């Protein structure tokens, strides 16, 4: 089975978790698109849900499939979010942002009671970092931001090329929020939480693609079938209590 077929298998398992009336966050990327297509089929068969997309791409695709789309302004509390990931480790920490939607993905995930991540088995790693870490940065002062990221990441043992993401046409890639993405080739990230904290210290950094302690359930599809890995952390609601 190809990686894309595994993504679809994971999405098929995920869509079974959807219940009538749910307020749902919708991720971005090819795995999330499988989920949206499957959810659209259920909606067309009569399921009533309301969804908040993590990108304009997902908004358009969801609407084309007949799914009612809303915003966090109208639906600030979501029951569940379904998204993909670029890498996920055994503690369910992740690298996301391959599709450039990491900021909205993190905002929507943090507004959700539960976060379900759908991946093909190739995304499951012992240590994060083979995938270049996307970091969303403001356009102003780019060179200064890169220098600060370099210095602070080095303090965390992370060194490597930092490249401005470009479109196929060679122009800087601009996110839905009007920012740039830096792809950081740091190699193995031994302490994702430490690096995430360090990156937050850089004024020009809007958000990093490190998602620490956010995923509740990973649905992993591989040649041996589909399995669920559940996080041991408490619900986000309990964290805040």
The catalytic residues are 105
Q: Which residues contact 31 (CB under 8 A, 6 or more apart)?
A: 7, 10, 11, 83, 84, 118, 119, 120
Q: Work out which of 92, 101, 149, 206 binds ligand 5RP, going by CB under 6 A.
A: 101
E strand spans, 7-142: 23-26, 50-53, 78-83, 87-89, 94-95, 112-120, 124-125, 133-137
| Contact range with ligand 5RP by CB under 6 A, out of 84-92, 160-168, 189-197, 227-235 | 84-92
Q: Work out which of 40, 62, 84, 204 binds ligand 5RP, going by CB under 6 A.
A: 84
| Contact range with ligand 5RP by CB under 6 A, out of 24-32, 144-152, 159-167, 226-234 | 24-32
**Element at 41 (helix H, strand E):** helix 30-44
Q: Which is nearer to ligand 5RP, 10 or 149 (CB)?
A: 10
- State in Å, rounded, how far the first CA of the chain is from the last one: 44
CB of 54 to ligand 5RP, least distance (A): 8
Quote the DSSP letter at residue 26. E
Query: 111 vs 50, 66, 137, 157, 187, CA distance in Å?
Result: 14, 24, 22, 31, 30
- Name which of 165, 138, 133, 167 is nearest 150 in CA terms: 133
Strand 225-230 and strand 180-184: the pairing is: unpaired
Radius of gyration of the chain (CA): 17
CB of 86 to ligand 5RP, least distance (A): 5
At which residue do the structure tokens 């790693």 appear? 125
Joined together, the tokens standing for residue 165 give 């993401």
Q: Work out which of 12, 17, 22, 30 binds ligand 5RP, going by CB under 6 A.
A: 30
53 binds ligand 5RP (CB under 6 A): no
Q: Work out which of 27, 40, 53, 129 binds ligand 5RP, going by CB under 6 A.
A: 27
| Contact range with ligand 5RP by CB under 6 A, out of 70-78, 82-90, 176-184, 218-226 | 82-90
Q: Which is nearer to ligand 5RP, 101 or 220 (CB)?
A: 101
Please tell me the count of residues contacting ligand 5RP according to CB under 6 A. Answer: 18
- Give residues 140-179 in contact with ligand 5RP (rule: CB under 6 A): none
CB of 98 to ligand 5RP, least distance (A): 3
Q: Work out which of 40, 53, 62, 99 binds ligand 5RP, going by CB under 6 A.
A: 99
Q: Which is nearer to ligand 5RP, 105 or 204 (CB)?
A: 105
CB of 238 to ligand 5RP, least distance (A): 26
């Amino acid at each position: 089975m190809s990686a894309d077929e595994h993504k679809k298998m994971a999405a098929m398992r995920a869509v079974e978790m959807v219940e009538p009336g749910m307020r749902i966050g919708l991720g971005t990327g090819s795995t999330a698109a499988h989920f949206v297509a499957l959810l659209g089929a259920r909606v067309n068969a009569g399921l009533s849900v309301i969804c908040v997309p993590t990108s304009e791409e997902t908004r358009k695709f969801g609407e084309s499939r007949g799914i009612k789309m809303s915003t966090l302004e109208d639906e600030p509390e979501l029951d569940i979010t379904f998204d993909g990931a670029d890498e996920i480790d055994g503690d369910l920490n992740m690298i996301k942002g391959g599709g450039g939607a990491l900021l909205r993905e993190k905002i929507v995930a943090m507004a959700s009671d539960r976060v379900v991540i759908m991946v093909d088995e190739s995304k499951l790693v012992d240590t994060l970092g083979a995938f270049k870490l996307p970091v969303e940065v403001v356009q102003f002062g780019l060179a200064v931001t890169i220098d600060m990221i370099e210095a602070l990441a080095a303090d965390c043992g992370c060194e490597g090329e930092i490249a401005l993401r470009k479109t196929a046409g060679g122009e800087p890639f601009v996110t839905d929020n009007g920012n740039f993405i830096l792809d950081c080739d740091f190699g193995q990230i031994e302490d994702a939480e430490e690096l995430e904290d360090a990156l937050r210290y850089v004024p020009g950094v809007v958000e990093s693609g490190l998602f620490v302690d956010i995923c509740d359930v990973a649905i992993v599809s591989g040649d041996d079938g589909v399995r669920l890995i559940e996080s041991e952390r408490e619900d986000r609601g309990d964290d805040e209590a």
